[in-house]
Structure 1
């Protein structure tokens, strides 16, 4: 059961990172709209790079979260079989 709890704890931490990154991405996209409206192309180009980095990081964290979910499910299924 300890392994299961550890896995769930790690997954919750990953979820926190995922949610934080999503909010940061949304914030950057709002700034992007403002810069675009102000025609500030240099800042806009820099922001596009930041948005692309955040999107890539978000994809990586999402893949990690999916793997962790699979591991949590597998561990839970093993516990269920063991405790029958």
Structure 2
């Protein structure tokens, strides 16, 4: 019976280690997932900032292009209105 009790006691110790490691593994995996989500959010935020910056730059370039187009049109009109001598 002593042998049986010792085996059961050893098995209980092993079971405690097993349960502890399973719980720790699950906890670490949850932390890993949260960190990956945070990293993805950080990357997403960075990309969103880049997009906003590019949209702003695009709008500025569009305005410059529109002004240049107006200048080209006005210059062309002036050139055609001025009689050649």
TM-score by structure 2 length?
0.51
1:3-14 equivalent positions in 2, closer than 5 A: none
Q: Deviations over 1:9-57 (max 9, x none)?
A: xxxxxxxxxxxxxxxxxxxxxxxxxxxxx96111000110000000000
Q: Which runs of 4+ in 1 moved over 2 A?
A: none
Structure 1 vs Structure 2 CA RMSD: 1.8
Q: Does 1:67 align with 2:78?
A: no
For the pair shown, which has the larger CA radius of gyration, 1 or 2?
Answer: 2
Give the drift of 1:69.
0.4
Where relative contact order (Cα < 8 A, 6+ residues apart) is larger, the structure is 1
Give the drift of 1:83.
3.8
Structure 2 runs not aligned, ≥5 long: 1-35
1:10 paired residue number: none
Structure 1 runs not aligned, ≥5 long: 1-37
Q: Does 1:56 align with 2:56?
A: yes
Distance 2:75 2:42 in 1: 50
Distance 1:42 1:68 in 2: 39
1:41 paired residue number: 41
Distance 1:68 1:53 in 2: 23
TM-score by structure 1 length?
0.51
